[in-house]
Amino acid sequence: MCANQILASNDAKMTTEEMDLAGQLASQLRVDSIRCSTQAGSGHPTSSLSAADLMAVLLTGHLRYDWTRPDQATNDHLIFSKGHASPLLYSMYRAVGVVSEDELVNTYRQFGSRLEGHPTPILPWVDVATGSLGQGLPDAVGVCLAGKYLDKLPYHAWVLCGDSELAEGSIWEALDKASYYQLGNLTAIVDVNRLGQDGPTELQWEMDRYAQRVTAFGARALVIDGHDVSAIDAALTEARSDPDRPTVVLARTIKGKGVKEVEDKNGWHGKALPPEMADRAIAALGGRSDLQVTTSSPDAGTPATTRDPDAAVTLPTWEVGEKVATRAAFGAAITALAARPEVVVLDGEVGNSTHAGEFQDVCPERFFEMFISEQQLVASAVGLSVRGYVPFASSFAAFLIARPFDFIRMAGISEVNIRLVGTHAGVEIGQDGPSQMALEDIAAMRAVHTSVVLYPSDATSTAALVRSMADTDGISYLRATRGSYPVIYGSDEQFPIGGCKIHRAGTSDVVALIGAGVTLHECLAAAAELATAGIAARVIDLYSIKPLDRSTLIDTARLTGGRLVTVEDHYPQGGLGSAVLEALADTDLPPLHVKLLAVQGLPTSGQPAELLDAAGISARHIVTAAKDLLGA
């Protein structure tokens, strides 16, 4: 190996006194990690013990953080990508004085406690929920993009990673983007303790092979003994030294370090020490202590990018009847939103198809190309949200939702605010075939905590909803269509999230056709055809699928004698039709008769109209379903 550095103790920057303090702190962190997990009867003490020296040195000599002001813009970020080492993290919080001994020891993992089994941002010092491995580092890339390119502040992100999680591809997506964007403000500290949950890791202590990978992906690899305080100090000092290269500290450690009975032993992952063993271990570690550490405070500073949520945004407008793709409307709307300096756009190398690229044309400084790595695409959005930005991430819906679904799930748990725009949804895309067709995204996204699911049918509503998304908390998802369809709404129309639009309403309507996106157009065509047969059908544009307008649905079902046809360019399970059924599950309505039209079977290539028809969701099928309900 040529590229990685092995640091020796004489590179250390801390004073001897500081190093002594770090050593004492490490013992306390170990003792506290054991105490809280043994008291809880579960948790991951051995995974905490291996990293205690690393974190003691970080806290004593390198982290810049004002613990009384977690919202201070210049604070460093500390992210435990190995979230199971929460005993260590919470012990650090005790050491800096923001968590009491009582809270730590007596509430960890208990119902109602802030100190959950894996960290969540219910704690003000936690940026993102972790515990699904391989996500903390990708999230930190988003934080560091903000730091370097938007805030332009000197804060640093320190990420504690496990060695097992280096098997996740997302780690390499993260390092790749960190080096591409020259994120010298990012340091991953990898606790290479050789043992996973279930036996040795793939590479065990082959530090050179880890270093080779890290270097190949464009980061600096610093290999150290993770229990040598001065070597750690030297590495963390070095980590801040290059403004343009991310650093990965590869720390060789021993799982369970400090407790001889479990050191480097398999079978102790995720197990609290039994009380007697804990007592022996605590005694051997020097007993309980109450060391308090004062970390360096960061310099004052404010982000270079000033938020201006009230900035004037002039949305594009279209003539009713004009044919426009909703993805094009997204591109135009997001470009208009560039007027708000907190809006950031992230692309998955398809900006020319999603129209996100139009934002880049007017605002390249707030456009980040993530190439084809959708996990990192979402993780970057999460990190930008942590820093208070308003990120929109877009790609084809099939890839945007399915590929990073675990990242979206965790973003829900983090309760961050991100916006996802997925284009080319459904069979409507045509010739590219089923691999490119999102047909399960509505089901998946509806089930995510904090999610909002939008599916507009025309350009006007798309633009209005894109603007609303910027001010919507949680994870908002807008589903857009490939093809061009007539604009339905005038530019003064309002589209509240949770609303819907009614078309062709009459007091004698006997059936309602409920669609969204491309199927709304099919519903309108079907209603027109039904009218020629003397059947009065109203059409509901359910552009907001979650939340949805339950009261209008109830009124509609009452009016039409419970006859509803739902139509969606999506598989039959869990989508728009299910959302309608869930809303009407417990009412005092007369019997409901709901025909759920959705994509049947595996679609193929073909023209959009052919595929909509073959899937059973074209106007012809809607007419038949409505007539069936009426016995006509």
For residues 192-221, which are near a copy of itself according to CB under 8 A? 196-199, 201-202, 209, 212-213, 215-218
The interface mask with a copy of itself, positions 367-386, x = CB under 8 A, is --x-xxxxxx----------
Active-site hit among 165, 358, 374, 568? 374
What 3 state SS string does 233-282 have? HHHHHHHCCCCCCCEEEEEECCCCCCCCCCCCCCCCCCCCCCHHHHHHHH
Minimum CB–partner distance for residue 336 and a copy of itself (Å) = 21
The radius of gyration computed from the CA coordinates of the chain, to the nearest angstrom, equals 28
Q: Is 251 exposed, middle or buried (0-12, 13-18, 19+ CB in 10 A)?
A: buried
The interface mask with a copy of itself, positions 444-463, x = CB under 8 A, is x-xxxx--------------
What residues from 554 to 573 belong to the interface with a copy of itself (CB under 8 A)?
570-573
Stretch that binds a copy of itself, among 53-61, 124-132, 249-257, 473-481 (CB under 8 A): 124-132
Minimum CB–partner distance for residue 142 and a copy of itself (Å) = 16
Task: Find the binder of a copy of itself among 18, 66, 349, 555 (CB under 8 A).
Answer: 349
The interface mask with a copy of itself, positions 88-117, x = CB under 8 A, is ---------------------xxxxx--xx
Half-sphere exposure of 69 (CA within 13 A, CB side): 12
CA distance 102 to 119: 18
Minimum CB–partner distance for residue 629 and a copy of itself (Å) = 8
The answer to whether residue 434 forms part of the interface with a copy of itself (CB under 8 A) is yes
Helix (H) or strand (E) holding 388: none
Give the residue with the Cβ less far from a copy of itself, 132 or 461: 132
The answer to whether residue 268 forms part of the interface with a copy of itself (CB under 8 A) is no
The answer to whether residue 182 forms part of the interface with a copy of itself (CB under 8 A) is no
Nearest CA to 150 among 370, 458, 368?
Answer: 368
Which residues 6+ apart lie within 8 Å of 582 measured at CB? none
Answer yes or no: 238 catalytic: no
The answer to whether residue 33 forms part of the interface with a copy of itself (CB under 8 A) is no
Minimum CB–partner distance for residue 600 and a copy of itself (Å) = 10
Stretch that binds a copy of itself, among 97-105, 253-261, 385-393, 425-433 (CB under 8 A): 425-433
Task: Find the binder of a copy of itself among 237, 297, 436, 491 (CB under 8 A).
Answer: 436
Residues found in the chain: 632
Mapped onto helix, strand or coil, the DSSP state of residue 628 is helix
Q: Strands 475-479, 199-200: parallel, antiparallel or unpaired by DSSP?
A: unpaired
Torsion angle of the four alpha carbons 101, 105, 107, 109, in this order, in degrees rounded to the nearest 10: 140
Task: Find the binder of a copy of itself among 321, 534, 591, 631 (CB under 8 A).
Answer: 591
What residues from 42 to 61 belong to the interface with a copy of itself (CB under 8 A)?
42-43
C-beta of residue 609 within 8 angstroms of C-beta of residue 625: no
CA distance 375 to 519: 30
Give the residue with the Cβ less far from a copy of itself, 479 or 546: 546
CA distance 92 to 77: 14
Task: Find the binder of a copy of itself among 204, 311, 610, 630 (CB under 8 A).
Answer: 610
Minimum CB–partner distance for residue 399 and a copy of itself (Å) = 6
Structure tokens at 314: 């002039």
CA distance 616 to 604: 13
Q: Which residues are catalytic?
A: 374
